[in-house]
Amino acid sequence: MRMRKPPPDDLDTRLRKAREELDRQGWRGPRGPRNASFGMALEVAIEMVGTLAVAVGIGWVLDDWLATRPLFLVIFFFLGAAAGGLNVYRRAQRISGVGRDGDGNGDDRDAGSRE
Amino acid sequence: MGTGTATIATPGPGNRAWQGSVAEGAESPLSQFEISTIVPIDLGGVDASFTNASLFMVIAIVAVTVFLVGGMSRRAVVPGRWQSMAELAYEFVAGMIRDNVGTEGRRFFPFVFSLFMFILFANMLGLLPYSFTVTSHIIVTFALAAVVFLGVTVVALVKHGLRFFTFFMPSGVPILMAPLLVPIEIVSYLARPVTLSLRLFANMMAGHTMLKVFGGFVVLLGLLGFAPVLVIVLLFGLEVVVAILQAYVFTILTCLYLNDALHLH
């Protein structure tokens, strides 16, 4: 009976070869849906709308309490918009790795290298 | 569904209008989120009934316990498959805390680990047919986020006392800007539990609704229904990723908030 399969290579050398090949192509781990634009859009929307809603809620309660109906509502609307923008900006910074080390994408690389 | 539907409404304001427009016999894609009472309990006028949501939370906790206790029962030096999975989960969260909070965060490991495992199992159990997704209800995710928010704030206050409030003043900013920046920072801080819970809730609800909508297409298209089935297979794969990813995101943000509380950047 003839051997159909080629003699099995040493697994280590095959693994090394495959890793070198991937390194050459500049492969940096699986690209999860975190990088996908839809996920990003949802993130931004949640961050902005959530922050704005909280701020407007605070303004509403303050107005009820101090009987100054439109004043704090207007002030906190703009504060909420600013805070929402700030949150999105910080998140984007973290994802693109501009900020401190060890946040955002850094974890993915660590998880990969521990294996 | 049953006779004992609780007073908690399904998400989505246009639920009734939607039901009217769907062809007869087809179920609303949102009916999967309905809460039904299993054991009615009334605590002094407060409806504390045991519902299908409670049931699936209990199932999630039992499943986590069985998974971890069963996996570690043999305590082998060379772990088998099950023990490897349990150890992997442990080391994943431990590494997350180590990288994002540092050694001081180790005291909070039990809490963060419980949180991660509960959300992960609740998300994954929700993907089984005929099951109920606990995390697709904003009150559940908000309760989790509120515990994180209050806990982190208390930790910061205990550790730093009144110096905690310097957190709201970004460093290196002229004092003239303070009246504008401090309220922005406070609003941004107070919005944390809302955005944290909204993220998990929105992802889970959107995914499950989408699956049901495409499931409805299969019924409506009859013989051509194989096309949406293919889409459902792809969507289901995506939902598995989302279920794991959102558990991860919730946990990593808890770690980052804990880091802010301990170090006040």
* Complex ipTM: 0.76
Amino acid at B13: P
Tokens at A88, concatenated: 């999105």
Residue B158 at interface with chain A, using a CB cutoff of 8 Å: no
Closest-CA distance, B198 to chain A, in angstroms, reads 7
Three-state SS sequence of chain A: CCCCCCCCCCHHHHHHHHHHHHHHCCCCCCCCCCCCHHHHHHHHHHHHHHHHHHHHHHHHHHHHHHCCHHHHHHHHHHHHHHHHHHHHHHHHHHHCCCCCCCCCHHHHHHHHHCC
A69 has pLDDT over 80: yes
A90 has pLDDT over 80: yes
pLDDT bracket for residue B61 (50, 70, 90): very high
3-state secondary structure of B46: strand
Tokens at A84, concatenated: 């929402």
**What element of type H or E holds B38?**
strand B37-39
Closest-CA distance, B193 to chain A, in angstroms, reads 9
3-state secondary structure of B8: coil
Q: What is the dihedral of CA A28, A29, A33, A39, to 10 degrees?
A: -40
Which residue from B99, B185, B194 is facing A50, i.e. has the nearest CB? B194
Closest CA to A45 of B169, B198, B97, B237: B198
Q: Computed from CA positions of residues A9, A12, A15, A19, in that sequence, does the dihedral angle turn out positive or negative?
A: negative
- Cβ contacts from A onto B, under 8 A: 68
Which residue from B96, B190, B203 is facing A54, i.e. has the nearest CB? B190
What value does the mean pLDDT take over residues B49-77? 93
pLDDT bracket for residue B107 (50, 70, 90): very high
Q: Which residues of A touch B99 (CB under 8 A)?
A: 102, 106-107, 110
User: Is A46–B91 a contact, with Cβ atoms under 8 angstroms apart?
Assistant: no
In whole angstroms, give the CA distance from residue B85 to residue B66.
12
Closest-CA distance, B2 to chain A, in angstroms, reads 34
In whole angstroms, give the CA distance from residue B250 to residue B122.
13
Domain ranges of chain A: 37-113
Residue B213 CB partners (closer than 8 Å, separation 6+)? B29
Q: Which residue has the higher pLDDT, A11 or A101?
A: A11
Whether residue B48 contacts residue B42, with contact meaning beta carbons closer than 8 Å, is answered with: yes
Residues B137-182: pLDDT tens digits?
Answer: 999 999 999 999 999 999 999 999 999 988 898 888 888 888 899 9
Closest-CA distance, A29 to chain B, in angstroms, reads 15
User: Is A111–B92 a contact, with Cβ atoms under 8 angstroms apart?
Assistant: yes
Give the pLDDT confidence score for residue A7 in this predicted structure. 58
The count of residues in chain A is 115
3-state secondary structure of B139: helix
B209 has pLDDT over 80: yes
What value does the mean pLDDT take over residues B13-30? 54
In whole angstroms, give the CA distance from residue A16 to residue B171.
48
**Residue whose structure tokens are 């180590």:** B98
